[in-house]
């Protein structure tokens, strides 16, 4: 006697179908688990590769940032040296201007200008008729300026000197920043 003989005849067909369906379901479930395991491993490997690629890109970016930061620090150092040089140049010019102003105020130095040649005092070619014994002055007759006017002229030239020094500082800054190193 077999197992099939123990099952009543009208239910046998249903029992055989149920056994076949459970075998097919177990096979499908097994396949599902195996495919899940395979795809899970493939996805894990793909995620690991993506993470490694992202880490390499991040390390490359950090390396580039370190290089750029080094360049920036070097540029800041060069600019600081340029600023110190230009500040020294400006302060030296201001000191020289102050000394000149002080000497003008004490009448230690007098500014003078060359006057146009007058017919009675110079020859036709602009050379003085007689040389004075008191000094060696080349050129025409000179007139001393009033100290107040001399201070105004020195003030104007001081502002011009300051502007030139500032212009040189700006040009040096632009050259330093625009030239890649």
CA–CA gap between residue 23 and residue 21 (Å, rounded): 5
- CA diameter of the chain: 162
* pLDDT for the residue numbered 159: 83
Least confident of 10-14, 98-102, 115-119, 171-175: 115-119
* pLDDT band of 31, cuts 50, 70, 90: very high
DSSP E strands: which ranges in the chain?
112-114, 142-144
CA–CA gap between residue 76 and residue 70 (Å, rounded): 10
Domains of the chain, residue spans: 3-110+145-178
Question: What pTM was estimated for this model as a whole?
Answer: 0.48
**Model pLDDT for residues 108-146, shown as the tens digit of each residue:** 666 666 676 655 555 545 555 555 545 555 566 777 777
Q: Which of 10-14, 48-52, 135-139, 151-155 has the highest mean pLDDT?
A: 48-52
pLDDT (mean) for 82-104: 84
CA–CA gap between residue 152 and residue 150 (Å, rounded): 5
């Amino acid at each position: 006697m077999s197992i099939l003989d123990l099952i009543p005849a009208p239910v046998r067909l249903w029992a055989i179908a149920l056994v076949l369906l459970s075998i097919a379901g177990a096979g499908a479930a097994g396949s599902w688990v195996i495919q899940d395991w395979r795809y899970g491993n493939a996805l894990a490997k793909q995620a690991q590769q993506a993470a490694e690629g992202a880490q390499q890109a991040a390390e490359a970016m950090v390396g580039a940032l370190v290089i750029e930061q080094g360049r920036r620090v070097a540029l800041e150092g060069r600019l600081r040296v340029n600023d110190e040089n230009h500040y020294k140049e400006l302060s030296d010019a201001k000191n020289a201007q102050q000394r000149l102003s002080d000497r003008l105020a004490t009448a230690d130095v007098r500014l003078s200008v060359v006057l146009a040649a007058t017919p009675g005092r110079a020859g036709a070619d602009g050379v003085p008729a007689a040389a004075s014994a008191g000094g060696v002055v080349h050129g025409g007759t000179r007139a001393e300026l009033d100290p107040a006017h001399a201070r105004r002229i020195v003030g104007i030239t001081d502002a011009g000197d300051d502007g030139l020094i500032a212009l040189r500082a700006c040009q040096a800054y632009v050259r330093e920043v625009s030239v890649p190193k």
